C-alpha cells in the first residue's frame, strides 16, 4: 500500500546507519570464522560456521573430560603414595618396637643374672 511504502521511506534514513553497522559486524564475523577454520586446517570456503563451532564445542568437551581424568589419576596416585608412606612408617615402628622388646628382655636377663641369647650362642660354640 502507498501508506506503508511512505512509512518505510520515512524510516529509511534512520535505519540505514544501523543496517550498515550490522552488515559490517556480520562481515567481520564471517572473516573471523574463516580465519578460525583456516587456523584449524580447514578450507575456509567449504567449512560452514556451524561446523567450526561444533568442532570447537566437541574439543572443549573432550578437553574437560581429559582434564578431569588427569586430576582423578593424580589424586589416586597421591593417595597410593600416602598409603605406601603410612605402610613404611608402620613397618618401621613395628621394627623399632620389636628391637626395643628384644633388647629390654636381654637387659632384664642380664640384670637378673641370666645370660642373653647371644651369650648363650657364644658359649655353646
What per-residue confidence (pLDDT) applies to 115?
A: 54
- The Cα–Cα gap between 77 and 68 comes to 14
What percentage of the chain carries pLDDT values higher than 90? Answer: 30
How much is the pTM?
Answer: 0.48
Examine the pLDDT at 98 and tell me if it is beyond 90.
no
What per-residue confidence (pLDDT) applies to 68?
A: 97
- The Cα–Cα gap between 102 and 108 comes to 10
Q: If you average pLDDT over residues 106-123, what whole number do you get?
A: 64
- The Cα–Cα gap between 10 and 3 comes to 11
Examine the pLDDT at 64 and tell me if it is beyond 90.
yes
**pLDDT greater at residue 124 or residue 59:** 59
User: pLDDT of 2-61, one tens digit each?
Assistant: 788 777 777 778 878 888 999 999 999 989 988 988 888 888 888 888 888 888 899 999
Mean pLDDT of the chain: 83
DSSP classification of residue 112: T
Amino acid at each position: 500500500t502507498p501508506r506503508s511504502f511512505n512509512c518505510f521511506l520515512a524510516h529509511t534514513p534512520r535505519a540505514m546507519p544501523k543496517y550498515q553497522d550490522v552488515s559490517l559486524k556480520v562481515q567481520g564475523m564471517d572473516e573471523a570464522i574463516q580465519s578460525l577454520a583456516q587456523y584449524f586446517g580447514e578450507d575456509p570456503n567449504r567449512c560452514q560456521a556451524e561446523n567450526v563451532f561444533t568442532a570447537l564445542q566437541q574439543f572443549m568437551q573432550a578437553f574437560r573430560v581429559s582434564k578431569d581424568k588427569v586430576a582423578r589419576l593424580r589424586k589416586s596416585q597421591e593417595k597410593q603414595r600416602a598409603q605406601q608412606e603410612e605402610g613404611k612408617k608402620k613397618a618401621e615402628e613395628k621394627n623399632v618396637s620389636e628391637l626395643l622388646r628384644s633388647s629390654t628382655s636381654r637387659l632384664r636377663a642380664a640384670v637378673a643374672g641370666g645370660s642373653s641369647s647371644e651369650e648363650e650362642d657364644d658359649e655353646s660354640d
